[in-house]
């Protein structure tokens, strides 16, 4: 609820939850439709460019039939056979994707003997980095290159079972259709060869060898571990999971990290330590050390001291030093300064203590680093012998585990239940239709993303728009009624003053009808008054206050005896609109008795309108308008005219409007739609209300038309002037033939 202090009327704001108005959102989209369409088209073009630049990927596939020998499991129950069958096929699929099969296929294709194709690396995000940020590629060894090629082929293999059958589908994707087919066939053939190499007969033969070799390997492993343990005991080492000397290296690493941390902390505090020491030695002040403000409540106490100084300074301009409020303010200032200085000293002491503690910690960690280095030097002297014993123990353990694993595998596969029978049902053939990218989908997706981005930006811009666009915003923010809305007449470079005479030149236009609506509101508010003085002002220049003043004066002149008075002594425009130069006598000449009233006034030949322009600009406009002489002139005009419309300077630019508001009956505030910020209008209205200006209402000027009717009429825009204006060509018998009708 916002009160109007002059007329006592209250604007009751609706606190209920607003209903969802889809037309409001649609109007936002229509307002920014070309921007949204442009962003969507740009995104679609980018998607099309990426789709055309994308490398087509082709897929080669082959089908295998994988069967197993179930004779050994014929006497098992049904559930066991079913579970075993599922595990068997999963095992075969993993074998197809295994390293061994990929290695055999790479050899078959000759990939290990030729340079790697350019596509093996694939797309890397580091490729988009500038050269000064990109790290140089590391030179790979021959074994690393071999492993990289095998891994690339292994990762490209896809195996999928065909449901309800013993068939499996092997597929590989590649930029070349022939290469994709060749790689799939090589994988299928290598898988069959791999199974042959690991045939059941060889596994059964190997089982006997594994059994005889297992005991010997275990004895060798125990001897190697015993020799290594004796060496550890002689050297006083402790074996851990990380190694025998891991404790010493860990201690060294911990000490180095602690030394680095302490050194960093000491270096960070050293500059602050010197500043504090210099300040206490009289070479500065603790208040100038900004780093102390981050400690404790120094910043809060400093702010409190600043606030206390400001409050004392403000009170000193009003009261003397012995005034109770000044004494209280000085006491508060002294307490704030004392607390601030005490907290500064505590913070400085804390910094000094932290610096000494960091210095001591650095010395302690340095000693620990030296001690750990000495222990590691002793260990390094016997490293060769220890490494030899550790290698022997690891080799013996690896050999034992390998033999043990081989024995288990031979025993498991020796039953024959997992013996596979593999047949290539369908070999891979080159398919020249790429599987990706889907160019249509890429373009459509890019366009949809661009459309969503455009819509989001449109609503974001609408949300960030802090200008006035309609009656609800005017009433909610200013607490003033909207007297009317004037459409945007555009800009005519040949005649920039044409809007000021729009009512006179086009009396039956939508603009003239809007002016009549404003005139009706003014006349209804002044029904009980013999003479009414109306001041028109705005926040800043260029919002259309002179346009409203001149057109409103012409409208009132058709009904009553009216005077248009140009009181904008800074940038007068009324004279220009009526072909009067500044040398012609006007308000300033009439105020100084240099010319008579009749010499200063221009009479309208079509209405009861008299116009007095500003005339020559005086050096002191505010003193002239605020004088008793001007007040008597207004009173004299009241006796001569029914309505007096005063075009005044903007309220935020100068104080003329504040002075004149005490001499008028009503104040009309002009706001330019889509231009005047909320803050400017609120500040202007607030300044007028502080001097008890009689605020009548607001006129929203230069409203943009959107489709049918005015966009700024909100949800009632469909009842615009295109359906209810002064269109006498549709109803001539009603409007008559007078093109200047009132």
Check residue 76 and give its pLDDT.
Answer: 47
The predicted structure's pLDDT at residue 234: 72
Asked if 705 and 488 count as a contact pair (C-beta separation under 8 A), the reply is yes
Residue 240: predicted pLDDT: 57
Give the Cβ contact number of residue 664 at 10 Å.
Answer: 22
Cα–Cα distance between 375 and 373 in angstroms, integer? 5
Report how far residue 483's alpha carbon sits from residue 696's, in angstroms, rounded to the nearest whole number. Answer: 8
- Could you give the CA distance from residue 727 to residue 705 in angstroms, rounded to a whole number? 18
Sign of CA dihedral 641, 643, 647, 653: positive
Q: What is the pLDDT of residue 516?
A: 92
Give just the sign of the alpha carbon dihedral 599, 605, 610, 616.
negative
User: What would the 3-class secondary structure string for 188-202 be?
Assistant: HHHHHHHHHHCCHHH
- Provide the β-strand partners of residue 532: 643
CA distances from residue 410 to 71, 271, 621 in whole angstroms, order as listed = 18, 73, 112
- How many other CB atoms sit within 10 Å of the CB of residue 189? 17
- Pick the closest to residue 682 from 470, 474, 471, 469 (CA basis): 474
pLDDT digits (tens, 9 = 90+) for 229-265: 777 777 666 555 555 566 666 777 787 787 788 778 7
Residues 6+ apart with CB under 8 A from 337: 305, 308
Q: Chunked in runs of 10, what are the mean pLDDT values of the chain (742 residues)?
A: 44 50 82 90 92 90 83 47 70 89 90 61 56 65 85 91 89 92 92 78 61 75 78 66 61 77 74 71 66 66 75 78 79 76 72 77 79 70 70 79 67 51 89 88 93 91 78 83 86 72 83 91 83 92 90 91 91 84 84 88 86 87 89 91 93 89 93 87 92 92 62 38 37 37 36
Give how far the C-alpha of residue 603 lies from the chain's centroid of Cα atoms, to the nearest Å. 60
Question: Residues 592-610: pLDDT tens digits?
Answer: 888 888 888 988 887 889 9
List, for residues 570-588, the tens digit of each pLDDT value.
Answer: 888 888 888 787 778 888 8
The answer to whether the pTM exceeds 0.85 is: no
Q: Which residues pair with 603 in a beta bridge?
A: 610
Which residue spans within 508-618 are E strands per DSSP? 532-538, 562-566, 602-603, 609-612
- 216 three-class SS: helix
């Amino acid at each position: 609820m916002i009160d109007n202090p002059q007329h006592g009327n209250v604007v009751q704001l609706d606190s209920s939850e607003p209903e969802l108005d889809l037309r409001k959102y649609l109007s936002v989209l229509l307002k920014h439709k070309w921007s949204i369409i442009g962003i969507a088209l740009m995104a679609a073009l980018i998607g099309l460019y990426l789709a055309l630049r994308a490398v087509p990927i082709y897929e080669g596939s082959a089908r295998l039939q994988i069967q197993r020998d179930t004779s050994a499991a014929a006497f098992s129950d049904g559930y066991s056979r079913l579970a075993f069958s599922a595990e068997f096929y999963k095992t075969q699929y993993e074998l197809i994707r295994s390293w061994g099969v990929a290695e055999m296929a790479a050899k078959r294709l000759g990939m290990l003997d030729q340079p790697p194709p350019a596509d093996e690396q694939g797309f890397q995000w580091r490729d988009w980095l500038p050269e000064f940020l990109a790290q140089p590629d590391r030179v790979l060894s021959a074994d690393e290159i071999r492993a990289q090629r095998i891994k690339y082929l292994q990762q490209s293999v896809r195996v999928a079972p065909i449901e309800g059958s013993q068939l499996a589908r092997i597929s590989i994707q590649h930029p070349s259709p022939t290469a994709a087919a060749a790689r799939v066939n090589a994988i299928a053939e290598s898988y069959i060869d791999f199974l042959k190499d690991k045939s059941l007969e060889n596994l059964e033969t190997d089982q006997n060898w594994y059994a005889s070799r297992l005991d010997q390997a275990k004895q060798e492993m125990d001897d190697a571990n015993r020799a290594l343990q004796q060496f550890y005991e002689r050297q006083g080492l402790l074996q851990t999971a990380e190694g025998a000397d891991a404790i010493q290296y860990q201690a060294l690493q911990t000490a180095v990290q602690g030394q680095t941390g302490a050194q960093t902390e000491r270096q960070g505090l050293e500059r602050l330590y010197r500043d504090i020491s210099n300040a206490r030695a009289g070479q500065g002040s603790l208040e100038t050390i900004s780093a102390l403000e981050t400690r404790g409540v120094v910043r809060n106490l400093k702010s409190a001291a600043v606030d206390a100084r400001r409050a004392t300074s403000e009170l000193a301009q009003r009261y003397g030093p012995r005034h109770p409020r000044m004494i209280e303010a000085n006491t508060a200032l002294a307490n704030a300064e004392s607390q601030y200085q005490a907290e500064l000293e505590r913070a400085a002491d804390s910094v000094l203590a932290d610096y000494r503690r960091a210095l001591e910690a650095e010395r302690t960690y340095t000693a620990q680093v030296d001690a750990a280095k000495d222990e590691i030097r002793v260990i390094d002297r016997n490293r060769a012998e220890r490494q030899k014993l550790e290698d022997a123990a690891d080799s013996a353990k690896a050999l034992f585990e390998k033999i043990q694993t081989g024995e288990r595998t031979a025993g498991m596969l020796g039953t024959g239940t997992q013996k596979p029978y593999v047949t290539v049902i369908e070999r891979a053939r080159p398919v020249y239709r790429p599987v990706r990218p889907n160019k249509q989908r890429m373009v459509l997706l890019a366009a949809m993303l661009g459309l969503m981005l455009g819509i989001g930006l449109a609503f974001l811009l609408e949300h960030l728009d802090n200008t006035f666009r309609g009656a609800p915003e005017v009433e909610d923010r200013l607490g003033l009624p909207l007297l009317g809305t004037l459409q945007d007449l555009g800009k005519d470079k040949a005649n920039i003053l044409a809007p000021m005479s729009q009512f006179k030149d086009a009396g039956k236009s939508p603009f003239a009808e809007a002016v009549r609506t404003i005139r009706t509101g003014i006349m209804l508010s002044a029904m009980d008054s013999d003479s009414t003085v109306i001041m028109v002002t705005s926040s800043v220049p260029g919002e259309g206050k002179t346009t409203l003043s001149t057109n409103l004066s012409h409208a009132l002149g058709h009904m009553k005896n009216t005077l248009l008075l140009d009181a904008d002594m800074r940038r007068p425009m009324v004279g220009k609109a009526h072909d009067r130069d500044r040398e012609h006598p006007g308000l300033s000449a009439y105020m100084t008795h240099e010319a008579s009233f009749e010499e200063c006034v221009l009479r309208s030949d079509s209405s009861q309108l008299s116009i007095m322009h500003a005339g020559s600009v005086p050096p002191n406009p505010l003193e002239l308008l605020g004088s008793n002489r001007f007040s008597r002139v207004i009173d004299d005009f009241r006796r001569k005219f029914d309505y007096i419309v005063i075009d005044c300077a903007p309220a935020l630019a100068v104080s003329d409007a504040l002075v004149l508001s005490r001499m008028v009956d009503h104040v009309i505030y002009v706001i330019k739609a889509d231009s005047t910020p909320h803050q400017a209008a609120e500040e202007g209205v607030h300044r007028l209300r502080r001097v008890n200006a009689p605020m009548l209402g607001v006129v929203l000027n230069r409203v943009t038309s959107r489709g049918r009717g005015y966009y700024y009429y909100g949800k009632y825009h469909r009842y615009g002037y295109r359906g209810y204006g002064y269109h006498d060509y549709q109803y001539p018998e009603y409007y008559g033939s007078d093109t200047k009708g009132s």
